[in-house]
Structure 1
Amino acid sequence: MPIVIPNQGEDSRPVPKQVQCLENGTDLFKMFEVDMNKFDSSQVRKSYHKMATFVHPDKLGREPTDADRARFTKLKQAYTVLNDEQLRAVYRQHCFGIAGSGGCAPQGHETALSKALEMARELRKMGEERALVLYKARLQIGPIREHAGKSLLEKYLPEVSGGKHKMGCAGVLVTPTVLDSTSGQTWDTILQENPWLKTTNLVAKPDQLIKRRGKAGLIAVNKTFDEAKQWVMDRMCKEQQVEHVTGQLNHFLIEPFVPHKQEQEHYICMLSHRYHDEILFYHEGGVDVGDVDAKAEKLELPFGEKLTEAIVLEKLLSKMPAAKKANMASFVLSLYKFYTDLHFAYLEINPLVMLDDNTVIPLDMAAKIDETANFLCAQKWGELDWPPPFGRAAYPEEALIRDMDGRTGASLKLTILNEKGRVWTMVAGGGASVVYADTVADYGMGSELANYGEYSGAPSTEETFVYAKTLLSLMMKYKHPDGKFLIIGGGIANFTDVAATFTGLIKALQEYAEDIKEHKIKILIRRAGPNYLEGLRKVKAASDKLGLGIKVYGPETHITAVIPMALGKIQALPEPDLSAPCGPPVRKMIDLKGKKPTPKGHPAPPAGTKHTLVTATPETTSIVYGMQNRAVQGMLDFDFMCKRKKPSVDAMVFPFSGSLNVKFYWGTEEVLMPVYTTTKEAVQKHPNASVFVNFASFRSVHETSMEAMNYSNLKTIAIIAEGVPEQQTRDIIKVAEKKGVGIIGPATVGGIKPGCLRIGNTGGMLDNIVMSRLYRPGSVAYVSKSGGMSNELNNIVCRNSDGVYEGVAIGGDRYPGSRFLDHFLRYQDDANAKMLLLLGEVGGLDEYDLIDAVKKGRITKPVVAWCVGTCASCFTTEVQFGHAGAQARGDMETAAAKNKAMKEAGFHVPDSFDKLPEMINKVYTDLVEAGEIVETPEGETPQVPMDYTWAKKLGMVRKPANFISSISDDRGEELTYCGMSISDVFSKDIGIGGVLSLLWFRRQLPAYCTKFIEMILMVTADHGPAVSGAHNTIVTARAGKDLVSSLCSGLLTIGPRFGGALDDAARMFADAQGSGVAPKDWIEKMKKSNQLIMGIGHRIKSLANPDQRVEIIKGFAKKHFNNTPVLDYALAVEQITTRKRANLILNVDGCIAVSFVDMIRSCGAFSKEECDDLMAFGCLNGLFVLGRSIGFIGHYLDQLRLKQPLYRHPWDDITYIQELAGQGPE
């Protein structure tokens, strides 16, 4: 018996036979109807979707049972295995043997499926490709496989060297697909595509970013093909420990063995820095080359300068044999061109072999590419592979979040570090996620940190639900006797509606409430930003109801304070009052106890000091590139709050529209902002603007920034875009420093100077501006790498000092346009900046420039500093943090080394980020007591009108809508028709009749009703080219008009004489039948009143020669409708009228009209009043218009297809009556 799943419709549908395989344990290939030896992935997807339609718990039309859920889970597992090359190979191996023949193994298909799923979990095969994308999403500089680097060199070396050099074979990459004989790559196909494998000795090695492979015994040298194949197969998909990291070997490189002498091995490395590219060359190479930094000859080539063979010979090749110098110089020159043209950021070859015939061969290569240059180099790169670090296994849960991240504008990231760990985090913001991880490590729980990631960028309620649910499901995998911790936090959001995201969080907590209590999970939340109070209130109410004991905190609590509270390191703080918003903190002025200290005074800057970045004043104005209305309005609101006399934005530039004016608010008044199509015009019209806020995309930001630097009045350029290629950034920096232009960014939120200027969205929404007192200047000037953390710094500074004097986020790229030192020198020379604050991060050396300035006495003001990323030492594999530059390239670039160096240089460095507020407060207090800062009483907090859209979202205002719609809604996750989602429209197969019933009648009608509606559309679709509507359409089409004009021409002829009789016919016959008047008497009544009976009469048809359209409509109504009183009455009238003349029959219009009345009256879906309204509203004429539009469009297309010329009516078909011309009344 077939499985039958109840459906909401009238009939139950038998489930396809494949679904029954879920119960029977049939092998997967049969289940999905694919040939095992001719695998077709598209057929797998097609079969999966077909089966899922029947077994998905949400598609059953009833409450799903545990058995339903289990069936669908099994289907998903089967699809996962069969749709993944590596898992399919495992399944075949356990079921049929590696070769795919020999019948089913004794354990059967069920066991084979279980084995595949088990191996997917243990070895993470199914997740590796997903991990590549996840890892890539966090990159700017990404390592590539050795095979990829050599393949690019093989392809482009002849081109860049002008044919002088070429590389031998780049080898072949062997992946786990060789385990599956039906996959695209097998050992046979490898041999077919690379016949050289049989004719030369070979080298085999893993290609997975593993360092020191030779010392780890992971290189097979001078092997035959069979030996190399066996060596690879012995290690494929096996665990391997390399130093302190254990991972799975699953990608191998096989390449030709190159016989050579030791003295023929050399070393070369190319890498990029802010101002130059560096080339290291050593005449000796190989695994025992030693410390190349100390041994190698080095060449520093300033960025943008041309490299020549003469320079190479002079700087790098002094120890090379004279006979080989020229050839090697030529190769190095070509290699450098290859390096720059393809946007490499690092390239190391060791050994680089030069044979006796001067052939140069790279034996081992390591390379990193600037992934952000993809839009420039995609065609050259081809499909590059971005492998994760060796030992970093991938998880299906990471894949789920990565897939969701790819479908949304929000940023959703998840990396699982230790699935058995006790400390889990759910953090909003990239910079915040690092400081949370740091703080966990600082309190001695780094080994228990389970995950790293973020959810930010205004994720939807549903996305937050899935993210939280994924984390909770991971937490439930393993119990710990001491319980676990879930820290939900983040920085102060700019625009994310906290309440909306927390609604999704609450949904996940409700689903896992019992599990949370069983696993003894302690949850603490710290969140701030738009609508945070409502979010915290909702979570607290849900916690109390579910008995979860969650503690919630807002911006009054330090961002990471919840971590030591959760871990029991400090006493938990009292939870805040959630009944009122968190305003500016109450300031307690420091009591000097009668002391009158004498300040030291502000030292004058050294003679000739000039800063590239010009400090903003209350008169500074800007030009904004891009139609960023929200950001501009935020800048104007900030200006108004700071009591500026005029807006800080003079104009906007938007090249994709003509010049226009856009309305903005200045307080409560409206002002017009000019928008120009070119920067040149904007600068000419507004010569006093000195700041250029560039919102151009990463594709065009280089061009627009370079143009802006041509105008001398633009002194500061803020580049907001992320993902700017490093070569373009370095080019911008070079030109900017030459022209004395200050650059903020790329990848920055901007900067803020209270009372003067706000760049873009810096500081977040107005309530955060007020809470952090950014409307008036304080004494603390800060610089941060992270834009997201700048809001948090504003909050920290406001609560531990008199506030922010100026704050800048320089951006997280490796080469920010301006460095820490550039800003701190400016702050040092500004008498109003009394105290300096630095928030750096792992990666880069910019902090050391600041250390040198302090040591040399150039910076004398107290500096409080901290570098985030100290948790990096807790990870056994390399982790790329949220910023492109947040990755150490040496011991000096680690956060721990920087913090230590700053502390030794006299900086005020706390023990951890969690202690940063205390350090700021201490230094500030010392400055006040020393008289360097003179505190003043707080003034009145300014008021700025709230944006209407946000006020309405918070439920603070209301106004009547101009439009009301009750039939469709496009605001949610998907479009709905009268409450039915568009996916349900198709899954339930309601057809065009069902859609029409939803949109016209606001309800789903029975199937026979929707079928009747579709019949009406079909029989009214056309009636030949001679009728007035079709004729008009044809004539208009032949006049060269467009489709819409031609269709309208035809539709405008519809009226009482053509097609418009349906409503009148329905009303006439319905009224007559309802009045109880006999048909004969009604006809006489109509005759006496001189009224035509609508719906009666046809040009040629009669009872003896019936209209088949009428017969079809009439037959369907008689068969399916519950009763047909109006149709019966009309047929009785027909019997009388045809006695007078044979063609006075009930025509198709009349038959449709009376049948439709019977349908809506008898189907039970409408009241009598609703039926009368539908007739009065013209519903029936609407059906004719909709149906006949099909035919009119057909006639239009037909005329174009036939290429018909302009129509002109013939004279002989027109009667001209000249006698009446010019006559008027006598």
Structure 2
Amino acid sequence: MKKRIDKISNGVNILELTRSGRARVLVIGNHSGIIQSMLDFDFLSGKEIPSVLGIVAGNRKAEKYFFGTKEILLPCYKNIQIASEALGSKVDWMLNLQSGRRTFESTVSFFDFFPKSLGAHIFAENVPESHATELISRFGKKYFIVGPSGVGLLIPGALKLGAIGGVDAVQIKSGALTNAGNIAVGSTSGGMTNELIHAVARAGKRLSFAIAIGGDRFPVVSLTQIFALAEADSQTEGFVYFGELGGVDEYEIIELIKAKKFTKPLVAYIAGIIDEAFDEHVQFGHAKALVQTMDESARAKREALREAGVIAPDTFPQFLDALQKLPGGAYTAEEMDIEPLQGRQKSILSTRKVSDIDEGRIFVKGKKLSKGKENAFVDATLVALLGKPVQSPITRAFTEAVFEMLIDHGGNVSGAVNTMITARAGKDLVSSLASGLLTVGPRFGGAINEAARLWISGVVSQKTGLEFVAEKAKAGELILGIGHKKYRVGLPDPRVKALAEFATLLKVHPHYDFARSVEKATTSKNGKLILNIDGAIAALLLDILSECEGMSQRELQELADAEFFNAFFVIPRSVGFIAHFMEQKKNDEGLFRLPDELLFVRAETPKKTKKK
């Protein structure tokens, strides 16, 4: 037992650190009711920002929740490693809501990636006992881990880690969860911990902290550790405990009292007297709730506790009355308006204000044109696409150059042809533009984004261009961003040549260098497999966003996943398509029809032979 108690030697620091603000949580798995209750607790406690920093939950990018009446998006991460890259050292606690057999792996992974965190709560029941004992062995001395099979940790006004205290605003108010006091609550039972919290509130007392260690056989933080924590905590002046038949937890508490390692007033209730009514001992709700010896009966435990000076009533009503004997005066019920938190409905769509239409603008002043902002349209476009102002003139200049270059590439490319044919069929501007845009894809205009994906993967993998090309060739995959029908080695694309000069403005350009190394490998096989305009735009834009706008590799990947890079073709080329539409309407040449001299590839119908 001593070894388990020693693990909590820094436990008081856990409470003090959390009360001082280290209460930021990463959730693994998803349980919307529990997560929302944590956010409501934060809001009602007067916090300005939510304690939940994000959720590790599959392939989703974000989940909608409320912080007060304001709807927020909590970021979601595919795995813990990606979460660590995004959040760094900001995370203090982990709430694990995964199923019993998955919690071990994810808990180990969390502490591997967040070694400076304080602890965790494991919500799941039926965690294999071998997993629980391994968690104790690995992390019991270093981290404060509540569970498995509990409802969590509560530090009033500071942290609600789990379902503890309830999962709606009414329970948060009735349990006075946001107001710190001087009474600690502890139990193996999650449900009874919640009952004790509300019983303490009804008795006019307030909590210093509350913990449900969990009903499984091997909780990571033990009950004796919780009592040691309460003893050392300057804010705790009394303890309320709920136990049950089975196990020896209560005898360990008695040893603490006898050794003067727990000296504060304790009110305890031990459930399970009903077991005496059966001919054989019965397994009750929790893994440990089974009498193995007479000393483990509820009656024996009550008597032993009373002999040690603990207030241990025989009935639950007597137990509730005994709470009045705990230190501290009676608190009056706090005024807390929870009505705005009732009946909230999530919005159907999530969006943001792309452009401020209410901003006062002056275009003409004193019958003279006001001097416009340089690159104003480009700047506004980048802000709209990225969701934040750009920092570097290089980013603006590159975007301006790309937009100017890609407005048009003649009337014989597929998108322009589609636009013109639709216009000559008598259709309107929007229909004709849509017709042209619908041709954008991997073979026309839509290769910029896929090229960006390829350059990102190449840089991350640290492969050489030759290795990358060999890998793609073996898999039978095309390398988008490489190859052109018109230009070749010796006859370079002038647009690529012009854009390449932007690389000279950067300190480093790993994506552009990688793209050129791929080009070197492909042109050694075929002179037409040069770096084309799509590949050049993708590579240079990646390097510019990285160096000039401070974007991480993860943020660049997110932009590629959202097809951000194809916007650099779609925006300017839409202007070109509209120009072709206008030209066709002006000329009004009538319905377009292909000539009859077309090649039809189909099997000839065999001639019928006459029957003799």
Q: TM-score, normalised by structure 2?
A: 0.53
Which among 681, 698, 704 is matched to residue 100 of structure 2?
698
Q: Structure 1 residues 858, 898: CA separation in 2 closer, same or farther (over 3 Å shift)?
A: same
The CA distance in 2 between the partners of 1:613 and 1:884, in whole Å, is: 31
Q: Which amino acid aligns with 2:83?
A: A
Report the secondary structure of 2:251's partner residue.
helix
Corresponding residue for residue 171 of structure 2:
768
Are the aligned partners of 1:613 and 1:742 in contact in 2 as well (CA < 8 Å)?
Answer: no
Corresponding residue for residue 315 of structure 2:
912
Tell me the CA shift for residue 946 of structure 1: 3.0
Corresponding residue for residue 47 of structure 2:
644
Q: Structure 1 residues 877, 609: CA separation in 2 closer, same or farther (over 3 Å shift)?
A: closer
Post-superposition Cα deviations, 1:1110-1166, rounded to whole Å, max 9, x if no partner, equal xxxxxxxxxxxxxxxxxxxxxxxxxxxxxxxxxxxxxxxxxxxxxxxxxxxxxxxxx
Q: Structure 1 residues 939, 918: CA separation in 2 closer, same or farther (over 3 Å shift)?
A: closer
Q: Which amino acid aligns with 1:917?
A: L
Tell me the CA shift for residue 718 of structure 1: 0.6
The CA distance in 2 between the partners of 1:275 and 1:611, in whole Å, is: 14
In the alignment, does 2:160 pair up with 1:758? yes
Report the secondary structure of 2:313's partner residue.
coil
Are the aligned partners of 1:664 and 1:670 in contact in 2 as well (CA < 8 Å)?
Answer: yes
The CA distance in 1 between the partners of 2:95 and 2:181, in whole Å, is: 24
Corresponding residue for residue 661 of structure 1:
62
Q: Which amino acid aligns with 2:159?
A: L
Tell me the CA shift for residue 737 of structure 1: 2.0
The CA distance in 2 between the partners of 1:849 and 1:877, in whole Å, is: 26
Are the aligned partners of 2:151 and 2:164 in contact in 1 as well (CA < 8 Å)?
Answer: yes
Which among 340, 344, 348 is matched to residue 945 of structure 1?
340
Are the aligned partners of 1:825 and 1:859 in contact in 2 as well (CA < 8 Å)?
Answer: yes
Corresponding residue for residue 678 of structure 1:
79
Q: Higher RCO, 1 or 2 (CA under 8 Å, sep at least 6)?
A: 2
Report the secondary structure of 2:185's partner residue.
strand
In the alignment, does 2:141 pair up with 1:749? no
Which among 1209, 1212, 1223 is matched to residue 602 of structure 2?
1209
Q: Structure 1 residues 683, 892: CA separation in 2 closer, same or farther (over 3 Å shift)?
A: farther
Post-superposition Cα deviations, 1:174-229, rounded to whole Å, max 9, x if no partner, equal xxxxxxxxxxxxxxxxxxxxxxxxxxxxxxxxxxxxxxxxxxxxxxxxxxxxxxxx
Post-superposition Cα deviations, 1:868-905, rounded to whole Å, max 9, x if no partner, equal 11221221123111111111222222222221111111
Report the secondary structure of 1:614's partner residue.
helix
Are the aligned partners of 1:613 and 1:823 in contact in 2 as well (CA < 8 Å)?
Answer: no
Corresponding residue for residue 726 of structure 1:
129
The CA distance in 2 between the partners of 1:612 and 1:843, in whole Å, is: 29
Report the secondary structure of 2:11's partner residue.
coil
Q: How does 1:476-875 map to 2 (within 5 A)?
A: 609-611=9-11, 614-615=14-15, 616-617=18-19, 619=21, 620-654=23-57, 656-657=58-59, 660-686=61-87, 687-710=89-112, 711-738=114-141, 740-764=142-166, 765-875=168-278
Q: How does 1:1066-1085 map to 2 (within 5 A)?
A: none
Post-superposition Cα deviations, 1:444-484, rounded to whole Å, max 9, x if no partner, equal xxxxxxxxxxxxxxxxxxxxxxxxxxxxxxxxxxxxxxxxx
The CA distance in 1 between the partners of 2:33 and 2:602, in whole Å, is: 59
Report the secondary structure of 1:688's partner residue.
coil
Corresponding residue for residue 77 of structure 1:
none
Tell me the CA shift for residue 814 of structure 1: 1.6
The CA distance in 2 between the partners of 1:698 and 1:936, in whole Å, is: 40
Are the aligned partners of 2:206 and 2:331 in contact in 1 as well (CA < 8 Å)?
Answer: no
Corresponding residue for residue 395 of structure 2:
none
Report the secondary structure of 2:138's partner residue.
helix
Tell me the CA shift for residue 670 of structure 1: 1.8
Superposed CA RMSD: 3.0
Tell me the CA shift for residue 863 of structure 1: 0.8
Are the aligned partners of 1:753 and 1:805 in contact in 2 as well (CA < 8 Å)?
Answer: yes
Corresponding residue for residue 101 of structure 1:
none
Post-superposition Cα deviations, 1:583-619, rounded to whole Å, max 9, x if no partner, equal xxxxxxxxxxxxxxxxxxxxxx99x942288223262
Are the aligned partners of 1:274 and 1:815 in contact in 2 as well (CA < 8 Å)?
Answer: no
Q: Which amino acid aligns with 2:106?
A: T
The CA distance in 2 between the partners of 1:805 and 1:681, in whole Å, is: 35
Corresponding residue for residue 1190 of structure 1:
none
The CA distance in 1 between the partners of 2:297 and 2:219, in whole Å, is: 18
Q: Structure 1 residues 892, 648: CA separation in 2 closer, same or farther (over 3 Å shift)?
A: same
Are the aligned partners of 2:185 and 2:197 in contact in 1 as well (CA < 8 Å)?
Answer: no
Tell me the CA shift for residue 723 of structure 1: 0.7
Q: How does 1:109-508 map to 2 (within 5 A)?
A: none
Q: Structure 1 residues 902, 613: CA separation in 2 closer, same or farther (over 3 Å shift)?
A: farther
Q: Which amino acid aligns with 1:691?
A: W
| Structure 2: unaligned runs, 5 residues or longer | 349-599, 607-612
Are the aligned partners of 2:170 and 2:338 in contact in 1 as well (CA < 8 Å)?
Answer: no
Post-superposition Cα deviations, 1:259-318, rounded to whole Å, max 9, x if no partner, equal xxxxxxxxxxxxxx9999xxxxxxxxxxxxxxxxxxxxxxxxxxxxxxxxxxxxxxxxxx
The CA distance in 1 between the partners of 2:345 and 2:289, in whole Å, is: 35
Tell me the CA shift for residue 935 of structure 1: 5.7
Are the aligned partners of 2:186 and 2:210 in contact in 1 as well (CA < 8 Å)?
Answer: yes
Q: Structure 1 residues 859, 786: CA separation in 2 closer, same or farther (over 3 Å shift)?
A: same
Q: How does 1:942-1091 map to 2 (within 5 A)?
A: 942-943=337-338, 945-948=340-343
Report the secondary structure of 2:74's partner residue.
strand
Post-superposition Cα deviations, 1:760-794, rounded to whole Å, max 9, x if no partner, equal 22222211221222221222111011111222212
Are the aligned partners of 2:238 and 2:266 in contact in 1 as well (CA < 8 Å)?
Answer: yes
Q: Which amino acid aligns with 2:99?
A: S
* Structure showing greater Rg: 1
Are the aligned partners of 1:618 and 1:755 in contact in 2 as well (CA < 8 Å)?
Answer: no
Corresponding residue for residue 566 of structure 2:
none
Tell me the CA shift for residue 815 of structure 1: 1.6
Tell me the CA shift for residue 736 of structure 1: 1.4
Post-superposition Cα deviations, 1:343-390, rounded to whole Å, max 9, x if no partner, equal xxxxxxxxxxxxxxxxxxxxxxxxxxxxxxxxxxxxxxxxxxxxxxxx
Q: Which amino acid aligns with 1:750?
A: G
The CA distance in 2 between the partners of 1:802 and 1:706, in whole Å, is: 38
Q: TM-score, normalised by structure 1?
A: 0.27
Q: Structure 1 residues 832, 612: CA separation in 2 closer, same or farther (over 3 Å shift)?
A: closer
The CA distance in 2 between the partners of 1:783 and 1:683, in whole Å, is: 32
Are the aligned partners of 1:842 and 1:867 in contact in 2 as well (CA < 8 Å)?
Answer: yes
Report the secondary structure of 2:337's partner residue.
coil
Tell me the CA shift for residue 681 of structure 1: 2.6
Post-superposition Cα deviations, 1:1185-1208, rounded to whole Å, max 9, x if no partner, equal xxxxxxxxxxxxxxxxxxxxxx95
The CA distance in 2 between the partners of 1:860 and 1:818, in whole Å, is: 20
Post-superposition Cα deviations, 1:29-67, rounded to whole Å, max 9, x if no partner, equal xxxxxxxxxxxxxxxxxxxxxxxxxxxxxxxxxxxxxxx
Tell me the CA shift for residue 1211 of structure 1: 5.9
How many residue pairs are counted as aligned between the two chains? 348
Report the secondary structure of 1:864's partner residue.
strand
Report the secondary structure of 2:132's partner residue.
helix
Are the aligned partners of 2:241 and 2:268 in contact in 1 as well (CA < 8 Å)?
Answer: yes
Q: Structure 1 residues 939, 788: CA separation in 2 closer, same or farther (over 3 Å shift)?
A: closer
Identity, % of aligned positions = 30
Q: Which amino acid aligns with 1:865?
A: A
Are the aligned partners of 2:12 and 2:229 in contact in 1 as well (CA < 8 Å)?
Answer: no
Tell me the CA shift for residue 683 of structure 1: 3.0
The CA distance in 1 between the partners of 2:282 and 2:220, in whole Å, is: 25
Corresponding residue for residue 509 of structure 1:
none
The CA distance in 1 between the partners of 2:265 and 2:50, in whole Å, is: 34
Corresponding residue for residue 303 of structure 2:
900
